Amino acid sequence: MPSDKNRIDRFEEDLINLLPNLRRFALSLCRNPDIADDLVQITVERAFAARNHYDPATPLAAWTFRILRNAWIDMTRKTRNHGAQIPIDDMADGPSVDGRQVTEARLMLGSVEAAMAELPDQQREVMVLVCIEDMTYAEVAEILETPIGTVMSRLSRARINLAKMLGIE
Amino acid sequence: MTYSDDILMALADKELPADMAARVQAAMEADPDMAARYAIFVKSRAAMAGLRRTPDPAPEALVAHVRRLAAEARAEEARSNVVSLRDWRRIPALPMSIAAAIALAAGLFVGMQTAHDGGGSELAGLGQPGLTDALGQLPSGERKPLKGGGEMVVIGSFLTGDGALCREFEYDGPDGRTLVSVACRQGESWETRLTIAAQASDDGYAPASSLETLDAWLTATEASPVLSPEEEMAALQ
């Protein structure tokens, strides 16, 4: 059993190593660098406050991503700066996309990023977690506090939407 | 057998168990449409590869914030070790409904008392002869009767943020009252920085549960973790 001090030292180092990933995830949620840094700051504060609830045998990334996402939900609830919230699962298939409308810009280097930005929030979120952060469906389900089947259906719709936008046949 | 998009995607993402993956692969060989749907999931993931590069480093301010939180966490756990030190010494606890009187460094005095406690403001005891000597000599954990009556036990020694040696101790008066106090060395003498007067119950005194005031004070003074017996002895020399 490591001493309290060693436990905190490890938590501290692991958290610092995760900061770039936390920022990237935060940025994918709020798409504003200042708000993203605020979100990460709130996340590390909450992580330290709840550190005794963290099981070191489980991945710290999934645990902190979940805190970050909940902080983002709190923030959007509080500020209501996000406009009307539409449950994406109720929407048909995200934005209507047509391969022929793909612009030149999208075909260039930033095209994947541009296409990602057009995905509905809930689809972009699972894309980021699985295809960028390399998390398993089970980890994503835990972060989103949602059934794994929901994760998979959001992700498959996101992938099909992205493929259409990028002209992938 | 036709498989759903979700299953084909799970295959592309290597999320299927081996036997299931083999069945889906076999089905695709006989079904070009299904193979085409599968390809979309493989290609859409591959398209994301460019975004998987190492993320930008975090700003220094965020790193510093984590370092600060970790330092606070270490200090907090060191303080809770003071409490476990109490437990270890089996110093019995007071009831939660404690009457506390808090005397702060600059002579500021705040008194609170419960309805059934008539004397919450009497902080007798800290002027006891022998107390100063005991503070300068008594190792933490040892109990010592004082000349003027009552006895004291030092809970632990630590340094404040500005380097002063301080000792947390309990004084048990002959009248059954207990004072939890912190004194810091000031030249040759000891100056009381904080005192919590606890109303004694039948079975004991100093309570982990009533020490929020002490915790607040330790935080404010950036108290170090409790000194080891060797460190304490060296500091008292």
Q: Model confidence over B108-136: pLDDT tens digits?
A: 333 322 223 333 333 444 666 778 888 88
Tens-place pLDDT, residues B130-183: 788 888 888 887 788 887 788 888 888 888 888 899 998 888 877 777 777 888
**CATH code for the part of the protein at A4-79:** 1.10.1740.10
Domain co-membership, B87 together with B13: no
B15-48: pLDDT as tens digits: 999 999 999 999 999 999 999 999 999 999 998 8
Do residues B202 and B231 share a domain?
Answer: yes
pLDDT at A109: 45
Confidence of residue B102 (pLDDT cuts 50, 70, 90): very low
Confidence (pLDDT) at B52: 79
Q: How far is A150 from chain B (nearest CA, A)?
A: 10
Nearest to A119 by CA among A156, A161, A62: A161
Secondary structure percentages of chain A, helix, strand, coil, to 5 = 75, 0, 25
Total tally of structural domains belonging to chain B? 2
Q: How far apart are CA B154 and CA B143, in angstroms?
A: 7
Q: Which of B18, B33, B52 is the last residue of a domain?
A: B52
Q: Are residues B189 and B74 in the same domain?
A: yes
What band does A2 get if pLDDT is binned at 50, 70 and 90?
low
- Whether residues B149 and B211 fall in one domain: yes
Enter the tokens of residue B89: 């010494």
Residue B103's domain spans which residues? 60-236
Matching residue, tokens 């000792």:
B167
Confidence of residue A88 (pLDDT cuts 50, 70, 90): very low
pLDDT at residue B75 in the model:
81
Q: How confident is the model at residue A153 (pLDDT cuts 50, 70, 90)?
A: very high
Considering the domain architecture, whether residues B13 and B73 belong to the same structural domain is answered as no
What is the model's pLDDT at position B101? Answer: 34
Residues from chain A that touch B45, judged by Cβ atoms under 8 A, are: 131, 159
Identify the DSSP state of B115.
T
Q: Identify whether residues B101 and B22 lie together within a single domain.
A: no
Facing A44 at nearest CB: one of B41, B43, B65: B65
Can you name the residues that pair with B101 across neighbouring β-strands?
B111
Q: Where are the domains of chain A?
A: 4-79, 88-166
The burial class, CB within 10 Å (0-12 / 13-18 / 19+), for B42 is middle
Report the CATH fold assignment for A88-166. Answer: Arc Repressor Mutant, subunit A (1.10.10)
> B51 touching A, CB under 8 A?
yes
Summarize pLDDT for A30-81 with one digit per residue, the tens: 989 999 999 999 999 999 999 999 998 889 999 999 999 999 999 988 765 5
Res. B211 pLDDT band, cuts 50 70 90? low
